[in-house]
């Protein structure tokens, strides 16, 4: 396969001699990524770092300017750190350490931010990036697209997918319209990261089962908002409406997201109702938009040589700030699998893990957000009454409950670093190498292992153990890398850990007299379709 050319113009001119039977210019690459949102860009960047040629196309003229997704959770920050980009996100983001639940006390005075959820405290010690980074979708796209361009793999903007042929076991053939006319792209695989109205999904003939909610979300970027604690999200409960505020910058610059009862609300009337019902004051409006909420999922995330990622495969309520993060993690997961197969380290059967591991994550998220949506977000006086009662209880009990052992657990779910992948099917017996609780979770970060994870390679780790390298481990697996014991005892001192390139623990191998049992090493590698 050839590396994608540096520019659209050169792509067309260099490929003009390689025409298909239809006489159209032909581009060839290993992976065609359709859609240059955060999901598609993340997939392309991880593939680039793993040495796999990928070509990103998008019908837009450039990165989006208006965005609905707004927060980057802890696990996504860990992925950015693996790419060496975490500091750039932090420098451009507004940090939110918690969420205020109730704005006013019974006497009318403002409560402190302690009258809510301290997200940073819940996640402290569990991730290098506790709390939430408010970093809009547009800024994620600008960062990832710029880095891709700097690495010689720019997005082909104004290139729209017209048709796709993705049979199993054959190259993908795509017909694409471009500013220079139609062209064809041939790739080994295709990633559909082109949003909820995905052309890739339609071309594959996959349904998008689920529902569209009756209510409409309103989104507004406001200046001069008062009553919001520093470095905090805030929930607002009105007589009719529920809203969440996200800090965007100084001077009361916030994003307000709330549910409106009308299908097509006008900006002035919607803002006037929100101001009155939610008791929110502001000076001016930068941007206003509306959209309907969908809860939908494709029946599978892989069909032949094509895959769905992000909103192309699953959409849900924005409650919890999980959507963009789930797409980023879809992309990170899938790109590493494709790189392992391309490099000859895993068989193509390993690609089935994308659907078996990531689709349950999306299903659980859709179920959870749909329930939360029904309980707290829908408009109406009956629901509003229950919300206000829940608000008062939550404001009192949430800080207390989340200061117990429940806090780190909830913090891990919110930050998405507690997602577990099961190494064997649910109905199968759990092998000895998978009984360690660390297996299937992302490797707990320590003060010493961050740099090793940036290598994006299969690795062997020990944390206080004296273990040699098992004889059946392929030469391209790094290690054993020896680290100090985990101070939180999440990683055992008598184990040799097999770590995947995405940072997840693949296996925990008991160490006996400095070595691991050969049969367990072979069984673990076989379970992940590793070519030994």
Give the pLDDT confidence of 359-413 residue by residue, as tens digits: 999 998 877 766 655 555 555 555 656 666 666 666 566 666 666 778 888 888 8
In the Cβ-directed half-sphere of 407, how many Cα atoms lie within 13 Å? Answer: 23
**What stretch of H or E contains 60?**
none
- For residue 214, give Cα distances in angstroms to 13, 211, 374, 379, 385: 49, 9, 11, 10, 20
d(CA 466, CA 403): 37
Averaging pLDDT over each range in 56-70, 117-131, 380-394, 512-526, which range is the top one?
A: 117-131
The three-state (H, E, C) secondary structure of 241-254, written as one string: CEEEEEEEECCCEE
- pTM for this entry: 0.89
All CATH 3.50.50.60 domain ranges of the chain, comma separated, are 8-67+137-208+298-364
Task: Tell me where in the chain the CATH 3.40.30.120 domain(s) lie.
Answer: 432-527
For the chain, how big is the Rg over CA atoms in Å? 24
Under the banding of pLDDT at 50, 70 and 90, the label for residue 8 is: very low
Token duo for residue 462:
């020990």
Read off the pLDDT of residues 337-361 as tens digits, 9 standing for 90 and up.
999 999 999 999 999 999 999 999 9
Q: Give me the DSSP letters along 210-275.
A: EEEEEEEEEEEEEES--SPPTTEEEEEE-SS-EEEEEEEETTTEEEEEEEESSSS--HHHHHHHHH
Best CATH choice for the domain 432-527 from the list 3.30.2130.30, 3.40.50.2300, 3.30.1490.20, 3.40.30.120? 3.40.30.120
**What whole-number distance in Å separates Cα of residue 227 and Cα of residue 146?**
36
User: Contact 175/181 with Cβ under 8 angstroms?
Assistant: no
The structure tokens 């500091």 sit at 87
**Mean pLDDT comparison of 43-52, 95-104, 232-241, 445-454, highest-scoring range:** 43-52
Per CATH, the number for 94-129+211-294+380-419 is: 3.30.9.10
Q: What tokens were used for 503?
A: 């940072």
| CATH dotted code for 8-67+137-208+298-364 | 3.50.50.60
Preceding omega of 46 cis (within 30 degrees of 0): no
CA distance 479 to 462: 9
**For the chain, how far is it from start to end, CA to CA, in angstroms?**
25
DSSP lists the bridge partners of residue 218 as: 258, 290
pLDDT band at 281 (very low <50, low <70, confident <90, very high): confident
Q: Which residue has the tokens 């957000």?
A: 369
pLDDT band at 27 (very low <50, low <70, confident <90, very high): very high
Greater confidence (295 vs 32) lies with: 32
Give the list of residues 6+ apart from residue 405 with CB closer than 8 angstroms, or none: none
């Amino acid at each position: 396969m050839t590396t994608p050319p540096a520019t659209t113009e050169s792509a067309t001119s260099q490929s003009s001699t390689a025409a298909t039977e239809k006489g159209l210019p032909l581009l060839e690459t290993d992976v065609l990524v359709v859609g240059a949102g955060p999901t598609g860009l993340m997939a392309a960047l991880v593939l680039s770092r793993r040495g796999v040629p990928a070509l990103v196309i998008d019908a837009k003229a450039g990165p989006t300017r208006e965005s609905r997704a707004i927060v980057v959770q802890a696990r996504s920050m860990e992925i950015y750190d693996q790419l060496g980009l975490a500091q750039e996100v932090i420098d451009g983001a507004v940090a939110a350490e918690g969420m205020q639940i109730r704005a006013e006390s019974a006497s009318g005075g403002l409560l402190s931010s302690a009258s809510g959820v301290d997200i940073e405290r819940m996640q402290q010690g569990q991730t290098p990036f506790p709390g939430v980074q408010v970093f809009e979708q547009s800024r994620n796209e600008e960062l990832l697209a710029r880095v891709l361009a700097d690495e010689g793999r720019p997005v082909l903007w104004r290139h729209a997918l017209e048709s796709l042929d993705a049979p199993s076991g054959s190259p993908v053939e795509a017909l694409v319209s471009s500013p220079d006319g139609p062209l064809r792209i041939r790739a080994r695989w295709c990633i559909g990261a082109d949003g909820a109205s995905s052309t890739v999904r339609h071309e594959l003939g996959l349904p998008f089962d689920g529902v569209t909610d009756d209510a409409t979300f309103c989104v507004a970027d406001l200046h001069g908002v008062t009553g919001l604690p520093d470095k905090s999200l805030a929930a607002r409960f009105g007589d009719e409406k529920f809203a969440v505020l996200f800090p965007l910058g100084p001077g009361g610059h916030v994003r307000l997201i709330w549910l409106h009862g009308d299908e097509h609300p006008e900006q002035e009337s919607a803002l006037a109702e929100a101001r009155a019902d939610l008791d929110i004051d502001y000076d001016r409006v930068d941007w206003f938009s509306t959209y309907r909420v969908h809860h939908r999922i494709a029946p599978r995330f892989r069909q032949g040589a094509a895959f769905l990622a992000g909103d192309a495969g699953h959409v849900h309520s924005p409650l919890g700030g999980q959507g963009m993060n789930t797409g980023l993690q879809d992309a990170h997961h899938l790109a590493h699998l494709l790189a392992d197969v391309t490099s000859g380290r895993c068989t193509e059967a390993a690609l089935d893990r994308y659907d078996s591991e990531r689709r349950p994550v999306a299903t659980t998220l859709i179920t959870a957000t749909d329930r939360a949506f029904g309980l707290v977000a829908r408009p109406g006086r009956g629901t509003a009454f229950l919300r206000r009662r829940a608000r008062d209880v939550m404001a009192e009990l949430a800080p207390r409950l989340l200061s117990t052992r429940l806090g780190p657990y909830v913090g891990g779910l919110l930050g998405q670093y507690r997602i577990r992948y099961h190494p064997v099917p649910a109905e199968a017996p759990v092998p000895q190498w998978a009984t360690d609780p660390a297996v299937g979770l992302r490797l707990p970060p320590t003060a010493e292992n961050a740099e090793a994870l940036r290598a994006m390679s299969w690795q062997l780790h020990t944390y206080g153990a004296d273990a040699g390298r098992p004889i059946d481990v392929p030469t391209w697996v790094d290690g054993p890398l020896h680290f100090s014991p985990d101070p939180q005892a999440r990683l055992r001192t008598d184990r040799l850990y097999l770590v995947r390139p995405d940072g997840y623990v693949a296996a925990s191998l008991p160490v006996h007299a400095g070595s691991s049992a050969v049969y367990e090493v072979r069984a673990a590698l076989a379970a992940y379709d590793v070519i030994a």
